[in-house]
Amino acid sequence: MTSLFKDRIEASVILGAVAVALLFTIATKGLWLQNLPSLLILTAGVGIVAIGQAVLMTSGEVDLSVGSVYAFSGVGFIWFMGQTGDVALAAILAVAVASLIGALNGALTTWFHVPSMIVTMGGMFVYRGCVYLMTAGHSLSTPRPLRDSAVIEMLGGRTAGVSHSILILLVVMVAAVFMLARTRLGNHIFSVGGEPQSAAANGISPARVKIIAFSLCSSLAALAAVVAVCREGTIYATSGKLMELETIAAAVIGGCTLRGGIGSAWGAVLGVFVLSSLKGGLMMMGAPTSWYVAFVGLILIGFLVSSRLVNGRLN
């Protein structure tokens, strides 16, 4: 057992996920397990975004605008559906616009040497403001004639009782794990995040790699929004609020570091599962919702300490 977990950056989050599941199963007398399908759907929605955040953090950057891009993309998806009457085209356009937003974030960060935290914080306010302007502070719904679209059913429906959003999360996670572990781009992301000067000396362009990582992060935020709109049929002006903090916390819990060079896509998904379980478990136990925010901080600190004890490294 020791050899299985030793030197794995995901070791603490695996143990933590098991501990949280056992704790809330016992505390709620099995009610937590009955609510597991809903928790997995919640995990899928944030988990897709957390994968992009984890990839970006592995490259040494961070994106505080993912929550606003999520809401902006959801609103854009509905708007494009109304304009084109084509759900598939609207989804492609929404993801493409988000990809350009990510590329812009990457360009501003790398070309002008502005910290990514500042660039994306500015973007967070800009895109959230655009959402409020486009929705007038209210919600938007899928155009009625398109609600029975095959694409909406494919992205937001269920098969054998399993939400397609969970299946999409698994596909994205497998693709991200493969990309980081088995492709040249993945190798470049780790290299640029760990030793950018050495990477540049070996012919790798840190700016190009980081722009791609930013673009991927925003694209996955848009994909998550498209899936959510297809599943729920609605997007709100407040959708995605605090998602940036949840995804960063999940990525750190899952093994990523704020310095870059170390990261795990599936570890970030497990991190989201831990946070989702915490939120759901506290609600089932009748705890005030305000407790969740405090517990996130405690869990984040706890995972950092346990990561140091298990792996001998501090994020």
Q: For residues 268 and 254, is the Cβ–Cβ distance under 8 A?
A: yes
Q: Give the distance from CA 193 to its chain's centroid.
A: 19
The per-residue pLDDT for 266 is 94
* 218-233 pLDDT per residue, tens: 999 999 999 999 999 9
Provide mean pLDDT across the span 178-201. Answer: 95
pLDDT category of residue 311 using cuts at 50, 70 and 90: low
**Helices 265-284 and 290-311, packing angle to 10 deg:** 140
SS3 track for 82-143: HHHCCHHHHHHHHHHHHHHHHHHHHHHHHHCCCCHHHHHHHHHHHHHHHHHHHHCCCCEECC
Provide mean pLDDT across the span 131-138. Answer: 93
* 82-118 pLDDT per residue, tens: 999 999 999 999 999 999 999 999 999 999 999 999 9
Positive or negative, the Cα torsion across 174, 177, 178, 179? positive
Q: For residues 236 and 219, is the Cβ–Cβ distance under 8 A?
A: no
CATH class label, 2-311: mainly alpha
pLDDT averaged over every residue in the chain: 90
315 pLDDT more than 50: no
312 pLDDT more than 70: no
The per-residue pLDDT for 96 is 98
pTM of model > 0.85: yes
Integer angstrom CA distances of residue 78 from 134, 149, 256: 11, 13, 34
b/e map of 280-311 (b: 16 or more CB within 10 Å)? bbbebeeeeeeebeebbeebbeebeebbeebb
Provide mean pLDDT across the span 130-148. Answer: 94
Provide mean pLDDT across the span 263-270. Answer: 94
The per-residue pLDDT for 314 is 43
179 pLDDT more than 90: yes
- Domains of the chain, by residue range, sit at 2-311
